[in-house]
Structure 1
Amino acid sequence: MRVAVTGANGFIGRAVLRAGQSAGLSMRALVRTGMPASSSVDEHWIGEIGPDTEWSGALSGVDAVVHLAGAAHTATDAYERVNTEGTLRLGRCAVEAGVRRLVFVSSIAVYPAGSGTNETIDTDTRPAPSTPYGGSKWRAEQGLWEIASATGMEVVVVRPALVVGPGAPGNLRRLAALVARGLPLPVPSTANARSYVSLESLADLLLIAARHPAAAGNSFLAADATTPSTRQVIQWIGEGMGRPARVVPVPDGVLSLASRLVGQSEVYRKLYGNLCVDAGRTRDQLDWSPGVSLEAAFRSLGAGFHREQC
């Protein structure tokens, strides 16, 4: 079986390639720029992703596509052009190339933004994106279902929680940098609960989604069954770095107010709010279980960051 991976030189894409090669699959990397010189993977350059991307040569002989490439933390118009129009262009080209299945890696952002409530996101939660990024992913999902209905190509949607592993970008990298400084970090005095998924566990799930008969035509959540607090996460990252993390409990209201005063309320919400994801249906329907614990994943993140800085 040949599986093509878009965004193959990214944080998640590299892990999917490694997992696929370990499983004996024929893997093809679809990238904007070249893979590392040490890579021996079948590689196709596809340039910028958008409504006019030429995919046909890159998809020749491919059985399934795992679509990871996308725009994040950028201009709003790029979300629509890359995440929505680019994804639907890929879907239409995949049909023309005879691709049997397309696995679209969407986002937990298709749901209402985690507002610190205790509600759990599960398969019955109605998507209602509140950000341009989440909206672009949701529109891509809907467009792919229309393509699947009209053509018979199998579509699978996977919505991961925040992904943890060495080299994790975004807020997790910022958090690791703060831990590395060795300064006391304020945390809410009331423990929060957040869902994550380890990099290796998500890579395994995406390859299962590309092959499992029960996956076709369904949407799945990807998250570990445990929901650690940010305080616990900080401690695990520190252990990975080989240094004890220092935390200072602060009343929730005081910390929230301070974050608003310095214009960091969104960062506060993403780090200290509650966001729990129930991926029980994914585990049951696809016989999937996270193979790497969150404790190990966060320690690995800390160790990787420490190596980068040495």
Structure 2
Amino acid sequence: MSSRSILLTGASGFLGSVLLRRLSTLEGNSVVAAYRSGKDEGDCASGVLSLGPIDGNTDWSDAWARPVNLVIHAAARVHVMSESEGDPLAAFRKVNVDGTLNLARQAANAGVKRFIFISSIKVNGESTPLGKPYTADDTPAPLDPYGISKHEAEQGLLALAVATGMEVVIIRPVLIYGPGVKANMRSMMWWLCRGVPLPLGAIDNRRSLVAVDNLVDLILTCLEHPAAANQVFLAGDGEDVSTTGLLRRMGASLGHPARLLKVPSGLLQQVAGWAGKEAVAQRLLGTLQVDIEKNRRLLGWSPPVTLNQGLLSTARHFLESDQT
């Protein structure tokens, strides 16, 4: 393996922390981990870069003080269920568009060979018809400010690749899960462990998920693979599951069988509408599938971790350390 000097942004995040540990175990890698000031700094990096806010004015010159030939940009203003900004799109653009393109321009000027951008499936859209998954080459159709900002960043990066010759790789993950996952997946495990009956026993949807170890493996494949240059890839486990099936599998992994009530999906959607929880209902009841055949065809890449293996490792971590 050739020597690689990598700048990793978002190193304290869920994905970034796993990616940092994996990168640091590979011989020949020199990793500079970028953190927001005040964040916990990991001990796996060859160097640490402490930053203020990431936007169009961020000065990355300290990163180029050592030779860097690859950038993995995982830092972002992430999608939230309860938005507090008066103008969400402007807030997302400040970080996800202006911040990304500012970093990419400086990277190109510093001679970086390849820039890997962690985008989002929300660039494709919010849902798919059952059995008709998104593909990497579909026309983007983002609907919310987060997805719009990621799409605009992608467009800017691809234009920069043409203008500068720096290679760009775009990866759009679906919902990421794994040991230490927070948000909805963690809440699901909490309820399952407490034996709470859940009204989700009759949901015939399909959702694509991606284990964090699978996503990290795809990113590592894209670091130097010649066929990855200036391409878009979707990240998933290669196996889709209904919400009902996910709860049953996770309950089995936790050793706490899911207690599910068979409430019709239409009734749940109606109740969610009354309660102003349409977005939550979409995640639980809607279908969103991705096709990763392009990854196999161009990169020879298939997910090394199965859905069941990913759920089991997630459950074990929760049982051992994350039930508070």
Range class of TM-score, shorter chain: over 0.9
Q: Which residue of 2 aligns with 1:212?
A: 225
Task: For 1:272 and 1:170, locate their aligned partners in 2 and report how far apart those are by CA, in whole Å.
Answer: 17
The equivalent of 2:5 in structure 1 is 2
Shift of 1:186: 1.2
What is the one-letter code of the residue matched to 2:63? A
Indicate the residue corresponding to 1:109 in structure 2: 122
| Distance verdict in 2 for CA 1:43–1:111, change over 3 Å | same
In structure 1, the residue corresponding to 2:216 is in which secondary structure? helix
Q: Give the whole-Å Cα distance in 1 for the aligned partners of 2:137 and 2:201.
A: 30
Moved more, 246-255 or 72-81: 72-81
The equivalent residue for 2:71 is: 65
Given candidates 117, 140, 144, the residue that maps to 1:127 is: 140
Residues in 1 aligned to 2:57 and 2:9: alpha-carbon distance in whole angstroms: 16
Alignment of 1:139-218 (within 5 A): 139-187=152-200, 189-218=202-231
After superposition, residues 4-43 of structure 1 pair within 5 angstroms as 4-24=7-27, 25-33=29-37, 36=40, 39-41=43-45, 42-43=47-48
Letter in 2 for 1:274: T
Q: In the alignment, is the contact (CA less than 8 A) between 1:116 and 1:269 conserved in 2? A: no
Q: Say if 1:188 and 1:262 are closer, same or farther in 2 by CA, change over 3 A.
A: farther
Does the CA-based 8 Å contact 1:116-1:273 persist in structure 2?
A: no
Q: Percent of pairs identical after alignment? A: 39
- What residue in structure 1 maps to residue 287 of structure 2? 274
- Separation of aligned partners in 2, 1:105 and 1:282: 15
CA distance in 1, matches of 2:200, 2:314: 20
Distance 1:31 1:246, change over 3 A: same
Secondary structure (helix, strand or coil) at the match of 2:200 reads strand
Matched residues in 2 for 1:35 and 1:133: separation? 23
Question: 2:322 aligned with 1:308, yes or no?
Answer: yes
Higher mean C-alpha displacement, 15-24 vs 62-71: 15-24
Superposition RMSD in Å: 1.8
Residue 51 of structure 2 aligns to which amino acid in structure 1?
I
Structure 1 residues 35, 21: closer, same or farther in 2, change over 3 A? farther
Q: How many residues align?
A: 310
d(CA) in 2 for partners of 1:34 and 1:287? Answer: 40
| Alpha-carbon shift at residue 94 of structure 1 (Å) | 0.4
Task: Give the TM-score of the pair, scaled to structure 1.
Answer: 0.94
TM-score where L is the length of structure 2 = 0.90
